[in-house]
Structure 1
Amino acid sequence: MVLDRNLCFSAANPAYLDATNRSFEDLDGRFLFDVFPNDGEGREVLLRSLKRVLDTGEPDTIAYIEYEIPRPERLGGGMERRYWTAVHTPLRDARGEVQFILQNTVDITELARLRAAASDPFGDSFGAAVELVQRAREAEHENRTRADPLDAFRRLFDEAPGIIALLQGPDHTFTYANQAYRRFVGDRHLVGLAIRDALPEVVEQGFPDLLDHVFATGEPMLGFGARVLIGDPARGATNETYLDFSYTAIRDSAGDISGILVQGYDRSDSVRANQRQRLLLDELNHRVKNTLSTVQSLARRSFSSTGDPQAARRVFEARILALSNAHNLLSEHHWESAELATILQLEIEAFGSDRVRAEGEGIRLNPKATIALAMVFHELASNALKYGALAGPDGRVTVSWERDGDEVRLEWREENLQASIDSIASGFGTRMLKRIVEGELLGRLSVDFPPRGLAWSMVVPCHEIEDLGTQLRQH
C-alpha cells in the first residue's frame, strides 16, 4: 500500500486488502492510525519507521512487528492480533522530494503461531519456521536497540538551531542533514547524494575543495561570516547568505578518515543588520557634513550682509530655525521623504500669516529637496514679510506647483506690493535662492514683475526633488 506525507492511504493492492480484510473504499484518504488504531508498542514501532523515511529519505525495514487489526463484523468483530514484516520505501517527485511511502508488508502470523507451538513434535519444517520467526524477532529487537540512541541523536540534531550534516567518503555523500540544514538549502533532497550533485551551486564557490582538503589531511576547517550563494528551487532564485561553519574529519575504528561532520550557523540576519548600520552611519555622516556646510553658508551670508550684528543674529537664527523645522519633519518620516505642501505650510506658519494660499498636487520630496525648498520658502516668506505682499494689510501670496513631464514647475506669486522692486529683487535672499534652485537642485529660476506684483518661477527636474518611491511609480 501507499501512504502520503500525512500518513493517509493513497493506494493499496488486492493482497494488502485481503490481508487486512478491507476494501479500498474503507481506506482511501484516511489516516493510517484511524483505520488501524493501536495504543501499544506496535504503533510506536510503525510510526518511528515511517518518520525515519520522511526525515532521512531512506528506506526502513521492520523485521518483526505485532499489530492488532479490527476483525470484520462478518467474522465476529473485535480485534485480531497479527504479526508482520514491513519494508518502507520513499517515493519521490520530480524534484527528489519524498511525497509518498510504499509499504511492502508480509503477514507472518501463521509463522508466529508455529513458534508458540514450538513443543509440537512435528519435524524440521516446523522447526525451521519457528527459527525463522525467532531470528526475525531478535533482529528487530537488535535494530530497535541500535536505533534508539540514533533516534535520540537525530532528535537532538534536528532540534539544534545550527546546521548539521554528515558526509561520507571522498565524494562527500550526505548520510544525514538536520532540519536547519535542509531549510538552509531550500528543503532539497540530500541523503545519498554527493555534495557536488546535491548542491551544484557551491562547487564554483570552492566549498567542495575545502572538504577535499579536510578529508585528505584531517585538518579542521573554520569559516566566519563566509558569503554563500544558495539556490532556492521553490522560487527559482539564489539567496545570498552568510555562514559561520566548521568541517571536522570523522575517523573509523581503525583511525582512517571516513567522513566529515559539517556544522554551521546562519548569520545572514546579523551580517545584514551590521551592513544596514554601516550604511546608516555613512548616511548620518553625510547628512551632518551637509548640514554643517549649510549652517556655515548661512552664517557667512547672514553676518556679511548687514552692519548691524543684532539684526544679523536674528536673520541667522530664523534661518537656522527653518533648517531645524525641515530636519524635524524628515525625522518624523525616518529621513525618507516629506510632502511639498507640508514643508511649505511649516515654513509659512513660522511667520504667522494666513494670507498665503497653496495650490498643487501631492509631491513627495527627497531629503535633499526637503531641506532645499524649506530654505527657499523661508527666504521668500521672509522677504514678503519685510518688503513684499505680507508687509502691507492688503497683500496676498499664492504658491502653486504642478508636474510637467519630467519637471516640476513651482510659482510664488505676490499681489498688492507696496515696496519698490529694487528692494525685493536684490540682496542676500535673492542670491541664496539662485544658489539653491540652480546650484543644488539643478533647476531654473526667474522673476517677473506684473503691476503691483511679483512672481518667482522655479523649474526643477523631477529626479532632483522627488523621492525614489515616486520616481519608481512614475516609470
Structure 2
Amino acid sequence: MRETQPQHDHQGDLETIDGIELLPSILEAVCRVTSSGFAAVARVTETRWIACATRDEIGFGLAAGGELPLETTICHEIRQHRQAVIIDDVAADPTYREHHTPRIYGLGSYISVPITLPDGTFFGTLCAIDPQPRSLANKEVTSAFAIFADLIAQHLMASRQVATIRAMAHERERLIAELQTARDNAVGELERVSVLFDHAPSFMAVLDGPEHRFVSANPAYRDLIGGREVIGRTVAEALPEAAEQGFVDILDKVYATGEPFSMRGARFTSRDENGEAAPERFLDFLYQPVAGNDGTNGIVVIGYDVTDHVLQTRRQAALTDLGEQLRVIDDRGDITHAAARIMAEALGATRAGFGTVDAEHETVIMHSNWCAAGATPVEGTYRFREYGSFIDDLKRGETVIVADVREDPRTRPNAAAMEALGIRVLLNFPVIEHDQFVLVAFVHMDTLRELSEADIQFVKQVADRTQLALAQLQAKEQQETLNRELGHRMKNALSVVQAIVSQTLRRAGDLKAGRSAIDARLAALGRAHDMLTEASWKEADIRQVVEAALAAHRRDGQRISIQGPAVPLNADQVQGISMALYELATNATKYGALSNEEGRVALDWSWIDGAFNLTWIESGGPAVKEPSDRGLGSRLIEQAIAPYFRGKGNMEFAPEGLRFRLSGYVIA
C-alpha cells in the first residue's frame, strides 16, 4: 500500500488526535473487538481523506499523515449520508461485492462509523478493515464503535472550544462566558461519557499510580469481582485473589515498561462480597498504560467475559474425547470411570460418576468414580433418604440441582452428612429405562458454583452415551451367553431324546407301540420348546411356565407333582424359571429321579407379601453324589435364575435325591 504525504492545512487535526492519550488503546480495542488487522481515525473533507492515527497489524502500509484518493474510499459516501457502513463479508454483500473500494484495497470485511462533533460538524470516520470476512454487525461491535467515536468527537470538540477561547482572550468578559460555557459543556459531556462507560458491554477500570489504585470501575467490572467496593483501594488490597493469581505482577510489568499486555481466555477465580469463592471465569483483557510527563502514570483495564465460549468449547471437546474412548473400552467399570473423569474435568467438579439404582428400595450402588486431588471416592451402597428427599424428584425423571446443600430444603436437614462427603453443590441426572429409574449420573462440588443449563445438557449427553455404551456391552455379553446356552441346550435336547427313546423302548410291548409313544413324547418336547420361546418374551403365570417347561417329562402325570399359587412373572423371571426347570428336568431324566421307573419329583412354591420361595425335591432315584466339578447346567440353575428374583439359589446333592431351593421376591 502506498501513501502520499503532501503538506496540507490539517496539521492541527493531526496534533489534536495525537493528543488523545487513550487513542492507542481505542485502536487496540477496535482491532480486538472486530478481529480486524487495521484500524484508523480519518479526517474526511470534501476533497481529501487523511489518516490521523492508525494501527496496522496486516501491513496495509498507511501511517498517520498519509492520504488516500478520496474517490477510492467509502468514507466520502459516509460524509454525505452520515451513516455507518458495516460489511461482514464483502463477497457475500449484495451492495458492496461489486464496489470499487473493496476491489482496490483487497477488503474482505469493513466497518466505518462517522465521527460527528456535538455541534453537528462532520469530522471524519473511525474504521476497521481486514482482508478476511469478520463478524461485525452485532451489538457488541456497534456499541463499542459508538462509544469510541463519541469519545473522539468529544475530545475534538473540547479542543476546538479551548482554541476558540484562547483566540478571544482579549475579550475578557466574553472569554469568561465562553470558559463558563465550555466548563458546563465539559461537565455535561463528562457525565455523558460516564453513562456510556457505565453501559459499555465490556468490563472497564482505570488504575492510578504504581500501586494500581482504583480510580473508576464500570458495573460490568464490579459484577466480575462480586460487587465489592474497590474505588480508592489498590488492586492488591481490594482483590487479594487477583494478586495470588499473578495479575498484580503483570500490572507491575506494564507500569514499569510502558508496554501494553493482552491475554485471551485467562482463568480468573474471584470472590463475592461475603468472601465465598465465586465460579471461575475466563477473560479476554487488555492492560493499556496511560503515559504522563514522567512516564506511565496509570493503566486502563478493558476486557470481555468469554466464560460461556470457553466452557462450551471444553464441553464439546470432552464429548469428542468420550466418544473416542467408548469405542475401545469393553469393561463396565472402565466405561463408567472414563465417563466420570471426562464429565468432572469438563465441569471442574470435585467428584463425578455413575450409580446403579434400586428404585424400589431407594438405594444406589456407587461405581468407581473420578475424584479431584485430595477428594475421597464415594463408592459402595448408599440409601438416598439418608442424604435428603430428592429421590422423589429422581423417580419422576427430573434432574436434581442443589445449588447449596445448606440452603436447599431437600438437603438442609442432611447437610452435615452431605458435607462430610465433600458435597456442597450437587447435580443428579436420572437415567430412565422402560419407565424405571435404573442409573444416576452425579456431579459433586465442594465449593459453591452455579450450574448452567448448558452444564445440565452436557451431563445428560454424557449419561446417555454412557448408558448406550453399557447397554451395547450388556447386549454383547448376553449374546455370548445365549450362544453358549444354545450349544448346551442342543446337547441336552439330544440327551433327552436319547433318554426318551431308550426308556420308551424298554417299556414298550412291541415296536409299533414303542414308536407311537416315542412320537408322542418327542412332540411334547417340541411343544415345550415352543412355549418356552414364547414365554421368554412376555409376562406369564408361573404354572403356565412350569407346565410348558416340564411337559416332555410328565409321561403319566404322577412322577412330577406340581403345587403352588398363581404368581405373575415378568419376562426375565419367565426366562429364568424356564431355564432352571429345563435344566433340572433334563438332569433328572439323565441322572436323577426320572432316569428309572420309581423316582419322583416334588415341585412347589409359595408367594406371601412379595416373598417368593420355590423348591424342587427328587426322591426314589439313583443315589446322588456331589460332582467334583459343576457343569454349565448346574451353574445356570444356581446363579442365572437368582438375580431375576433379587434372591439366592441353592442346589443340594443329598444322597436320597437332588434338592434345589430358590428364595427371592416377586413384585406384582
- For the aligned pair, the TM-score class normalised by the smaller chain equals 0.3 to 0.5
> What's the TM-score, normalizing by structure 2?
0.31
